[in-house]
């Protein structure tokens, strides 16, 4: 009897997710829409970088190669790197296109990334750009990315447009975990709800965000979110609360070039922000784990009963488009409960790390605790 009730509850959850949550699971490449006005708006890309010598050359090179018809410049903020990040960046772009600045010491109350972004935005302000392209040192942009983002913003009247970059999916650990990462993110922040001004939902992908400079200044600038660890979604919320329109979509041509060789690396990446997402509440953590268990673990455990089998089938159907986008076999779809268990463990560990004073650990900095 209990198994039937749990199976029915799980089936109801998956029915809602399939038909009632903005079609988050569809996974369509949304890049390339609209046309730029004449004259085109000016853009400055701001790239914070801390010990990114391995990837920053490709990232800066992809920005330097942009086929953008208007004024375009790049500002890289070297955040106390010790591996030659600044030198690798300078070698990837002509000096007239790239400005490299050294970050000042991190002040209290700021996360490391946002402090670097703040300094980059200040430097960019000298050029009075219409838009700021906030991007990471591990993102490779397609040749028309800046133009595509600006055209989307201009044609739709958006204050913030963001592409979820396609993540590396080559190693076994990446193939098992990465499609689910984007799937879970879109479940939390359905793109259709993010674009709907009537809904409070506001998501963004920090690797590639184009924001109107005036909208950023109107919300109080980067300083207004200076302590946020999940800075991209915090920025989207602040923009939307201020009346600006926000858009989020997938881009197959915008690619993350950061590779994860092991499950341990992915585990640490997930756990870095999970407890922050739960507002550092152990009660919410307990409820989240229980909810995840009901949603993902109950279906295979009750698969011999009709509702459990139906829930597992709907889960697999819902997950399949994410696998197809990442060119993974449909046989991975029924394995989502195992991947969800991995995420549950990382979420629980995130609370442990926070309690130990090592929350939000990134590049040697504990930023949440």
Query: For tokens 């050029």, what's the residue?
Result: 127
**What is the per-residue pLDDT across 230-288, written as a single tens digit (0 to 9) for each?**
899 999 999 999 999 999 999 999 999 999 999 999 999 888 878 888 888 999 999 99
Confidence of residue 295 (pLDDT cuts 50, 70, 90): very high
How far the first Cα of the chain sits from its last, in Å, is: 44
C-alpha 257/C-alpha 218 separation (Å) is 33
Name the phi and psi angles at 166, rounded to 5: -75, 120
Return the DSSP state at 50: S
Name which of 344, 351, 28, 288 is nearest 182 in CA terms: 28
Q: Classify domain 29-256 by CATH number.
A: 3.90.550.10
**What pLDDT is recorded for position 365?**
47
- Three-state DSSP at 198 gives coil
- Three-state DSSP at 63 gives helix
What average pLDDT does the segment 33-42 reach?
A: 86
Query: For tokens 């447009």, what's the residue?
Result: 161
Q: Write down the domain spans for the chain.
A: 2-24+262-355, 29-256
Task: Please list, in sequence order, all residues whose beta carbon lies within 8 angstroms of the beta carbon of residue 80, skipping any fewer than 6 positions away.
Answer: 50, 102, 103
Confidence of residue 358 (pLDDT cuts 50, 70, 90): low
Confidence of residue 35 (pLDDT cuts 50, 70, 90): confident
**What is the per-residue pLDDT across 213-244, written as a single tens digit (0 to 9) for each?**
999 999 999 999 998 888 999 999 999 999 99
C-alpha 214/C-alpha 231 separation (Å) is 19
Name which of 96, 102, 100 is nearest 46 in CA terms: 100
């Amino acid at each position: 009897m209990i198994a039937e009730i749990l199976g029915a509850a799980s089936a109801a959850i998956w029915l809602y997710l399939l038909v009632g949550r903005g079609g988050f699971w569809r996974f369509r490449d949304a890049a390339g829409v609209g046309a730029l006005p004449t004259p085109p708006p000016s853009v400055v890309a701001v790239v914070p970088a801390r010990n990114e010598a391995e990837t920053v050359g490709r990232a800066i090179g992809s920005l330097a190669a942009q086929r953008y018809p208007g004024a375009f410049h790049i500002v890289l903020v070297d955040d106390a790197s010790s591996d030659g990040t600044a030198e690798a960046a300078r070698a990837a772009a002509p000096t007239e296109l790239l400005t490299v600045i050294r970050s000042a010491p991190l002040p209290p109350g700021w996360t490391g990334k946002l402090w670097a972004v703040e300094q980059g935005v200040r430097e960019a302000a000298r050029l009075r750009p219409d838009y700021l392209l906030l991007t990471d040192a591990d993102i490779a942009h397609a040749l028309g990315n800046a133009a595509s983002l600006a055209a989307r913003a201009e044609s739709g009247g958006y204050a913030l447009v963001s592409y979820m970059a396609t993540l590396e999916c080559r190693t076994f650990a990446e193939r098992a975990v990465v499609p689910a990462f984007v799937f879970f993110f879109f479940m939390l922040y359905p793109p259709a709800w993010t674009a709907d001004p009537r809904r409070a939902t506001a998501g963004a992908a920090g690797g590639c965000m184009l924001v109107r400079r005036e909208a950023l200044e109107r919300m109080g600038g980067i300083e207004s979110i200076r302590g946020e660890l999940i800075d991209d979604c915090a920025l989207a919320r602040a923009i939307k609360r201020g009346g600006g329109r926000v858009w989020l979509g997938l881009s197959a041509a915008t690619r993350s070039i950061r590779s994860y060789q092991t499950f341990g690396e992915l585990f640490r990446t997930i756990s870095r922000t999970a407890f922050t997402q739960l507002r550092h509440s152990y009660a919410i953590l307990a409820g989240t784990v229980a909810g995840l268990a009901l949603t993902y673990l109950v279906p295979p455990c009750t698969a011999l009963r009709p509702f459990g089998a139906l829930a597992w089938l709907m889960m697999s159907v819902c997950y399949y488009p994410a696998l197809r986008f990442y060119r993974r076999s449909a046989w991975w779809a029924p394995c989502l409960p195992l991947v969800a268990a991995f995420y549950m463990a990382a979420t629980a560990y995130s609370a442990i790390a926070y309690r130990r004073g090592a929350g939000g650990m990134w590049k040697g900095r504990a930023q949440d605790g």
